[in-house]
Structure 1
């Protein structure tokens, strides 16, 4: 994995956007996209997943995702739509996954869990020209409630960067699985 940069950009609301640039060596882009889109497999490699599944609500295919938060904070959950596209830009094959929260009355908030209403994520993956991938991710959410500064600092310094390392391990194990 080549060095990557995780940067926080404060918004006027006091919330943060995360932008990540990185690389996954020995993980081809198609494999990275498959691992990222495989919800069942993510339950195995992402330690923060409490629940993750695809549902149909009001005729729309949505994803329900409950994320474990450290005690004494309440878990957060997300209801969102997601789409993946493979595009060709001047002969470069690029995998794009987009996700955005939706509000559906058919998917009520569970007691004791805080619903993340504002969530957006964009993931772009392309070949690094060798055996790996270059990855760009934009991530924003409004986690609701009071999030202590120690948790924000942990996310910026450790949690968000660790995601790429976890994904690389998941890709290498996915190869063995298939």
Structure 2
């Protein structure tokens, strides 16, 4: 696999550690959702008033490599993610950059993201771990659009490992600053409901992936 140039080896290994050290009981992290399939925690950034989120889930009967492939397949995501308004990957200045516009409910403005991402399959202590990292990336070739709010502070990591059976364990870290006048209760509601629904949608997309062509 081509070596990633947007992220350091240390960043990939730090993301791997999230599977070994769930947020529950960690300093500052509080439980947002606990269920049989998904656990979600949040940590308040006192300077910005925004939260960072960690989600842990079990995808039964979904092989880890398949889950990673589905997450990386942007064309397929347009089929299963109803919040996608526009999504594409392009090469600019030798870098692979993703543009993503997200549908927001009326009367709010849509948000869009410009970011870089990399996937690396690591082999640690006899285990294969798939790690996908993403972060905001500002580039003049993709300027802001009228009527759409550009999210300039976005970070996400996804770590996928076999559950020892036919499925996989998934760890996701997520943070963004949606800008604009969005009530905190709505942001919290979106995290509490949107993250589990997103994970469920990925699982469903994995099951249907062989049917996409």
Instruction: Report the equivalent of 2:190.
Output: 155
1:75 shift after superposition: 0.5
With the length of structure 2 as denominator, give the TM-score of the two structures.
0.80
Instruction: Report the equivalent of 1:22.
Output: 57
Higher RCO (C-alpha 8 Å, min separation 6): 1
SS of the equivalent of 1:34 reads helix
Unaligned runs of 5+ in 2: 1-34
Q: Does 1:105 align with 2:140?
A: yes
RMSD (Å), alpha carbons: 1.4
Q: Does 1:60 align with 2:95?
A: yes
Instruction: Report the equivalent of 1:96.
Output: 131
The answer as to whether partners of 1:8 and 1:156 remain within 8 angstroms in 2 is no
More deviation, 140-149/69-78: 140-149
Residue by residue over 1:115-157, the C-alpha shift from the partner in whole angstroms, topping out at 9 and shown as x without a partner, is: 0001111100000111111000001111111112342132222
Instruction: Report the equivalent of 1:3.
Output: 37
Q: How many residues align?
A: 178
SS of the equivalent of 2:115 reads strand
> In the aligned structure 2, how far is the partner of 1:151 from the partner of 1:87?
37
The answer as to whether partners of 2:40 and 2:56 remain within 8 angstroms in 1 is yes
SS of the equivalent of 1:162 reads helix
> In the aligned structure 1, how far is the partner of 2:55 from the partner of 2:127?
21
Which runs of structure 2 are paired with 1:1-178 in the superposition (5 Å)? 2-12=36-46, 13-177=48-212
Unaligned runs of 5+ in 1: none
> In the aligned structure 2, how far is the partner of 1:118 from the partner of 1:153?
17
